[in-house]
Amino acid sequence: MRLACGTLLLATATLTLAVGATRVAAQTGTMPSDLRASFKAADKNGDGRLDREEFRQAVMEGFYFRDKQHKGYLTADQLPEASPEAFKAANVKHDGRLSLQEEVNALLKDFEAADADKDGTLTYEELEAYVKRSSR
């Protein structure tokens, strides 16, 4: 897998939203059909780009959506789309529990990798290209 740091953990159904689809594509080799809709949902200001704050918000929403028992961390079984290697790389404390900060930090590395023009924002096209690259 050619993900930056191999840590794209988000991925569930809605990305809560846009970027999680990257992991699904990386695992299945297919482009999620709802990627554009998810991207638009995460683009809170409607400018056609995800800035770091919109991205961070989507990551946080996804984390809290998955943390159904409100423990403040996620375990590998709550992230079935993440490979054991990706989970281990993101889990810098090596305690088997992924904190919100660990997930945010891991995914921001992927944000940087997907930001092809390095302008600090992701367009849908950049996200789509990253998904395609990651699934090879």
CATH code matching the domain that covers 4-134, chosen among 2.60.40, 1.10.238, 2.30.29, 1.25.40: 1.10.238
Q: Where are the domains of the chain?
A: 4-134
- Give whichever of 71-75, 76-80, 108-112 has the largest mean pLDDT: 71-75
Is the CB of residue 89 less than 8 Å from the CB of residue 6?
A: yes
pLDDT digits (tens, 9 = 90+) for 3-34: 444 434 434 333 444 344 444 444 445 555 67
The type of residue at 112 is E
Position 120 scores a pLDDT of 96
Of the two residues 49 and 106, the one the predictor is more confident about is: 49
pLDDT digits (tens, 9 = 90+) for 91-123: 999 999 999 999 999 888 889 999 999 999 999
Indicate the pTM of the whole model: 0.75
Beta bridge partners of 99: 73
Selection from 43, 19, 44, 52 nearest residue 129 by Cα: 19
